[in-house]
Structure 1
Amino acid sequence: MAFLEKNVAPELHLLADGDGGQRLTLTGDWTINTIAEAEKAIGKLKVRGARLTCIDLSGVEHLDTSGAWLIHRTRGQLEFEGQKVGFQGISPVRETLFHEIERHHPPAWKPESGGSSVLDFLEQTGRVVVDAWYDALAMLHILGSLGLVVSTVLLHPRRLRGISVAVQFDRSCIGAVPIVALMSFLIGAIISQQGGFYLKQFGADIFVVDLAGILVLREIGVILTAIMVAGRSGSAFTAELGAMRMQEEVDALSVIGLSVTEVLVLPRILALMIALPILTFISDMAALFGSGLVTWAYLDIPPAAFLTQLQAAITTETLVVGIVKAPFMALIIGLIACVEGLKVEGSSESLGRHTTMSVVKAIFLVIVVDGFFAMFFAAIGV
């Protein structure tokens, strides 16, 4: 049988050619089993000073990709040294093998141009615009798929994975309360301290309460909470889905007939849309508490006076304006996190890059959406 045949050792012979040059004749087996011996034989080959015209393969008994690659590399080295080498005695099948090796040969390394130009800047700008367009399409695709899944869940409520929603809510809301409350407390204290430092010079200390109350309830509370949630829960969503992509678990869900949006995306986004308004309210209360402590200690405004001035400065609409923004920001954070997670390829470098991009894009769009809300509420007089 073929696999019981003994391998013939590869050999190289330099023979005189009729045109006054030399011909390199190969014999034996040039396969993966004899590749070590072939390497040693090629290492002993010395043709400097002679005119080598061709490599004769007619004596080669067995040849596979490993041997062909070694011969191809030897030919390239000889040509690099100034020899003009061709093949002789090669069959059509082996010629096809060498053509495939040449086609898959990596191109020579070329250093990148050091200087930048206007064309390079325009090219990079165009690439960024195209990538942004594809990201927008991916988000719309997930949003449309999410709409179909939500309509299906409304018609068949038992398809909603309540346990998954509860688990994601616990991770994104209950687990985030300490850090959100602490950061908001410090921000509220800093706003009151800095505002009081300047307003105190004009004898308008009491208006620090108005400043802190309106700024925290309308803008700072929801923005700060959304940014922390994007960095905490958004990155976690991207990392989880990216790891599932790397382990082909997402493909497995599709193979067994389950909807990726229904199983993975909907519970996370739904939990985040419930969690962010709650976290925003906690952030507002913590920031106002920090502001009240600072005004009491730094400006000698007692808690009773602080609460009285705060009640006069804000209305129910002021609190509602901040809370209303939260679900929309949660939707954006969840969509971006899921899109970036599902774009992860099979490497840890890709996972880290998309996790970083998820956080950056979410924070950027959160601020943009907050600007649109500010213009909208100003237009309607709220």
Structure 2
Amino acid sequence: MATPRPSAPDAPRALRLPSALTIETAAETEALIDSAAPPGLPLVLDLSDVAEVDTVGAWLLYRTKRDRPGTALLEASPQTLTLLAEVGAADRPCPVRPDARPIWLEELDKAGRAVLEAVDTLGQGLAFVGTVIVSTLRAATSKRGIRWHTVSRQMELSGVNALGIIGLMSFLIGIVIAQQGAVQLEQFGAQIFTINLVGRATFRELGILLTAIMVAGRSASAFAAQIGTMKLSEEIDAMKTIGLDPVEVLVLPRVIALTVLMPLLGFYASILALIGGGLLCWAILDIPPASFVQRTREVVPMSDFWIGMAKAPFFGATIALVGCFQGLQVTGTAESVGERTTIAVVQSIFLVIVLDAFFAVFFTAIGFV
């Protein structure tokens, strides 16, 4: 058993420790240290007899030095000093988990972050629109001009290849509008006004709006995925390196293609919706196709047609801009491509509906009802 050495009254108490400072002797050694001097007072620990030290023993020595300022270690072996350094490096305060905030405060924090993110996205989006406008003017006035072969390719991918699904959707929507209108108007003996409902709703609102939503699902997602993948593979950086403007090469053809195509696709969808509604009126209301067409010409003003066609280019440009913008925001891993593709579809559909509501109020305010 190690015994304390006699020392001067004001000098730190000297203590020779046993030969083994291990987990088996830790309790005995700790009691010996505590009996040598009251807590907080320094000691002189003589380690000349110590032949075996493990992590627990090193921690006991380290804690003694930490809790008793002025404590000195004598004759410590290199192994002991190495273990002391390691346990000292591991002696860091554990992070304390903060108290949970109230639910309402958490939700308020989420709402605030969402608002800030939306404002930041809006600012970046407006800057992107300005960049596209500048690139359009630069391309139109330069010798190389706009890349019309790329525009035609995008027209094929976004427009021609979408004719099947858009036509089928519009045809079925026309049938649904006619069927629901006939059921409701039958209560008043006014089934003939089903033609009014189908004609005006199709040309003024639903033909263009539903086409825009379908194109947003197809094209906005495709644009975001294509451009995002190119950014991950550093193709966009390579374009910049060789002096090509990515906005002019990738964004501008897509924006032009959808801006030109949307009125054509909207008209195509409106006609097929009208055909679907006409066939249902022929089947359940016994209204012949000739009478349906004649009645449609009488009750649908040309203003409805022009209102629908006027909205279409704005819808197309918005869808293309959102898809390309989100594609250029891709960073990190391939997971970001999926996230930005989803955001592109959601944002483009949301903005199309917002624009449609704005146009509805605007045209009503100027007298086109």
TM-score (norm 2): 0.77
Structure 2 vs 1, CA of residues 200 and 253 (structure 1 numbering), >3 Å: closer, same or farther?
same
Q: CA deviation at 1:116?
A: 4.7
Does residue 338 (structure 1) correspond to residue 324 (structure 2)? The answer is: yes
Is the CA contact (8 Å cut-off) linking 1:245 and 1:346 kept in structure 2?
no
* Aligned with 1:164 (options 146, 150, 158): 150
Does residue 19 (structure 1) correspond to residue 39 (structure 2)? The answer is: no
Partner of 1:233: 219
Q: CA deviation at 1:331?
A: 1.2
Is the CA contact (8 Å cut-off) linking 1:14 and 1:22 kept in structure 2?
no
Is the CA contact (8 Å cut-off) linking 2:177 and 2:277 kept in structure 1?
yes
Is the CA contact (8 Å cut-off) linking 1:24 and 1:52 kept in structure 2?
no
Structure 2 vs 1, CA of residues 380 and 49 (structure 1 numbering), >3 Å: closer, same or farther?
closer
Partner of 1:256: 242
Partner of 2:353: 367
Q: CA deviation at 1:49?
A: 9.4
Question: What one-letter code is carried by the residue in structure 1 that aligns with 2:215?
Answer: V
Question: What one-letter code is carried by the residue in structure 2 that aligns with 1:337?
Answer: G
Q: Separation in 2 of the partners of 1:232 and 1:253?
A: 26
Q: CA deviation at 1:48?
A: 5.6
Is the CA contact (8 Å cut-off) linking 2:319 and 2:348 kept in structure 1?
yes
Partner of 1:47: 56
Question: What one-letter code is carried by the residue in structure 2 that aligns with 1:201?
Answer: Q
Partner of 1:200: 186
Structure 2 vs 1, CA of residues 23 and 337 (structure 1 numbering), >3 Å: closer, same or farther?
farther
Partner of 2:141: 155
Is the CA contact (8 Å cut-off) linking 1:246 and 1:345 kept in structure 2?
yes
Q: Separation in 1 of the partners of 2:190 and 2:357?
A: 29
Aligned residues: 317
Q: CA deviation at 1:165?
A: 0.8
Q: Separation in 2 of the partners of 1:271 and 1:256?
A: 25
Stretches of structure 1 that go unaligned for 5 or more consecutive residues are: 1-12, 26-43, 61-67, 85-106
Larger of the two Rg values belongs to structure: 2
* Aligned with 1:272 (options 248, 258, 264): 258
TM-score (norm 1): 0.75
Q: CA deviation at 1:21?
A: 7.1
- Residues 355-375 of structure 1, C-alpha deviation per residue, up to 9 Å, x if partnerless? 111111111111110011011
Partner of 2:35: none
Q: CA deviation at 1:257?
A: 2.1
Structure 2 vs 1, CA of residues 111 and 237 (structure 1 numbering), >3 Å: closer, same or farther?
farther
Is the CA contact (8 Å cut-off) linking 2:154 and 2:257 kept in structure 1?
yes
Is the CA contact (8 Å cut-off) linking 1:22 and 1:51 kept in structure 2?
no
Q: CA deviation at 1:182?
A: 0.3
Give every structure 1 segment of 4 or more consecutive aligned residues whose post-TM-superposition deviation is greater than 6 Å: 13-17, 21-25, 54-58, 70-73
Structure 2 vs 1, CA of residues 157 and 50 (structure 1 numbering), >3 Å: closer, same or farther?
closer
Q: CA deviation at 1:71?
A: 9.9
Structure 2 vs 1, CA of residues 171 and 50 (structure 1 numbering), >3 Å: closer, same or farther?
closer
Partner of 1:97: none
* Aligned with 1:223 (options 209, 219, 223): 209
Q: CA deviation at 1:128?
A: 1.4
Question: What one-letter code is carried by the residue in structure 1 that aligns with 2:305?
Answer: L
- Residues 166-217 of structure 1, C-alpha deviation per residue, up to 9 Å, x if partnerless? 1111110001000000000000000000000111121111100000100010
Q: CA deviation at 1:268?
A: 0.8
Stretches of structure 2 that go unaligned for 5 or more consecutive residues are: 1-19, 23-28, 30-42, 66-72
Question: What one-letter code is carried by the residue in structure 1 that aligns with 2:203?
Answer: L
- Residues 93-143 of structure 1, C-alpha deviation per residue, up to 9 Å, x if partnerless? xxxxxxxxxxxxxx8595994x75333222222211111111111221121
Question: What one-letter code is carried by the residue in structure 1 that aligns with 2:311?
Answer: K
Q: Separation in 2 of the partners of 1:181 and 1:264?
A: 28
SS at 2:126's partner residue? helix
Partner of 1:354: 340
* Aligned with 2:116 (options 124, 130, 136): 130
Structure 2 vs 1, CA of residues 253 and 58 (structure 1 numbering), >3 Å: closer, same or farther?
farther
Q: Separation in 2 of the partners of 1:241 and 1:359?
A: 14
Q: Separation in 2 of the partners of 1:171 and 1:344?
A: 22
- Residues 236-291 of structure 1, C-alpha deviation per residue, up to 9 Å, x if partnerless? 00011111111121222222222121111101111111111111011001100100
Is the CA contact (8 Å cut-off) linking 2:61 and 2:84 kept in structure 1?
no
Question: What one-letter code is carried by the residue in structure 2 that aligns with 1:117?
Answer: I
- Residues 295-345 of structure 1, C-alpha deviation per residue, up to 9 Å, x if partnerless? 111111111111111011112221111111011011111111111111111
Question: What one-letter code is carried by the residue in structure 1 that aligns with 2:306?
Answer: V
Structure 2 vs 1, CA of residues 153 and 117 (structure 1 numbering), >3 Å: closer, same or farther?
same
Percent of pairs with identical residues: 40
Q: CA deviation at 1:159?
A: 2.6
Aligned ranges 1:304-343 → 2 under 5 Å: 304-343=290-329
Question: What one-letter code is carried by the residue in structure 2 that aligns with 1:277?
Answer: P
Is the CA contact (8 Å cut-off) linking 2:58 and 2:87 kept in structure 1?
no
Aligned ranges 1:85-164 → 2 under 5 Å: 110=97, 113=100, 116-156=102-142, 158-164=144-150
Question: What one-letter code is carried by the residue in structure 1 that aligns with 2:61?
Answer: L
Structure 2 vs 1, CA of residues 380 and 73 (structure 1 numbering), >3 Å: closer, same or farther?
farther
For structure 1, which segment, 368-377 or 243-252, has the greater mean C-alpha deviation from structure 2 after superposition? 243-252
